[in-house]
Amino acid sequence: MKFKLLLLLALALLLIPRSVEAGCTFSVNGDANTMVSSCSFDNDIDGIDEGADASSTTNTGELRIAGGTLTITATQQISLGKLTLTGGSLAIIDGGRLAIGKTLWYIDADQDSYVTSLTPQLLAAKPVGGIRKAFLTPLGIDCNDNDGGAAGAGPQHVFRTSPQQCYTDADGDTYTNGPEANSSCINATTCAAATKASASSHGALMATYTAGRLRDAATATDCGDGNTNAHPGQTVYYSTSFTNTVTGLAYDWNCSGAQEKDPSQPLYVCNTTGCASHVFTISNGFSAATACGATGTWTTYAGAVAGTCTTTIGGAGTTCPATSATTVAQKCR
């Protein structure tokens, strides 16, 4: 009964103009949020939103007014799970709305915890693609709300600052192919946390994106952002080609601007000039220079120990050993 009387007294102030002090701060204890000085919520759609999980339709968030006046302005819709007056008062300006038990939802179509708009919806039931406000920390705008997943799942979108731009990592290999045309970070607060050394996927810090993986004057770009194997720093050699959107070199897997042949695939060598001192040079390899990706004749020596001239090579040890041949593809990067 005491609670009802206090609430009626507070609501009697509905149409009385009051000065509005923005930015409520609360003392938080579990789902209970206690205010002790006059304030109003920052946004037109706002409130205290607590729940068991991101899909829950029950708001357990409690506002306790222990001092000061909470003012709900004429344009505001405020959601609370529960209101308790232990002191202070509540003022709702004509046009304002207080919804007890409603929940605050953002639309997150790909369910990656980054939303299409920073303006929530005040609803009683979960909307399609909805996620509760209580489970979005930090709150960030999604460059593309249809590309959920972590690094490696691709495609990803990466924020960076200076300038504030959105970079695309289409194949999810954590290397970007440069900024999107006319793109910018919508949420400056989120972007401020992302730097050249620590970029972010969908607005949240993501340690897998490092300085060398963002395009700027000092670093390289992903020259094949449709293939996870093509990126700056690639150490593996491949005999297959890819579409290189930067250098145009189909076997430049490390985006260096050159096609480097695998050093483990040299030309075949048999040099007997040192046999007088019982030393000669021999190695397996291609019988002739072979282009990246092409198939060449791979020559393998037999019947000799590399680096030693013996009569098994022939007569005085001046003849190259017998060889066998197979076909091998030239690998490059």
- Domain range for 236 is 138-258
Total length of the chain: 333
Of 202, 204, 208, 211, which Cα lies nearest the Cα of 228? 208
Of 204, 203, 218, 159, which Cα lies nearest the Cα of 183? 159
Do residue 254 and residue 284 come from a single domain?
no
Do residue 84 and residue 167 come from a single domain?
no
Mean of pLDDT over the chain: 73
Do residue 85 and residue 170 come from a single domain?
no
User: Is 95 within a domain?
Assistant: yes
User: Is 127 within a domain?
Assistant: no
Percent of the chain with pLDDT over 70: 59
**pTM across the whole model:** 0.47
Residue 142 is predicted with a pLDDT of 55
User: Is 123 within a domain?
Assistant: no
Do residue 274 and residue 241 come from a single domain?
no
User: Is 167 within a domain?
Assistant: yes
Q: How far apart are CA 148 and CA 150, in angstroms?
A: 7
Q: Which of 235, 258, 281 is the last residue of a domain?
A: 258
User: Is 264 within a domain?
Assistant: no
Decide if pLDDT at 81 tops 70.
yes
Q: What angle do CA 61, 64, 69 make, to 5 degrees?
A: 125
User: Tens digit of pLDDT for each residue in 207-247?
Assistant: 444 443 444 334 557 788 778 888 888 999 999 999 988 88
Do residue 179 and residue 218 come from a single domain?
yes
Do residue 147 and residue 250 come from a single domain?
yes
Hey, what are 286's tokens? 């291609």
User: Is 57 within a domain?
Assistant: yes
Do residue 144 and residue 248 come from a single domain?
yes
Residue 92 is predicted with a pLDDT of 95
Do residue 218 and residue 296 come from a single domain?
no
Residue pair 253/234 in contact (Cβ under 8 Å)? The answer is: yes
User: Is 116 within a domain?
Assistant: no
Query: Does residue 329 sit in helix, strand or coil?
Result: strand
Do residue 143 and residue 251 come from a single domain?
yes
User: Model confidence at 170, in pLDDT bands (50, 70, 90)?
Assistant: low
Q: What is the mean pLDDT of residues 47-56?
A: 86
User: Tens digit of pLDDT for each residue in 265-281?
Assistant: 999 888 777 676 666 77
Number of domains in the chain: 3
Q: Say which residue, 276 or 143, is predicted with more confidence.
A: 276
User: Is 234 within a domain?
Assistant: yes
Do residue 212 and residue 241 come from a single domain?
yes
Q: Which of 79, 104, 129 is the last residue of a domain?
A: 104
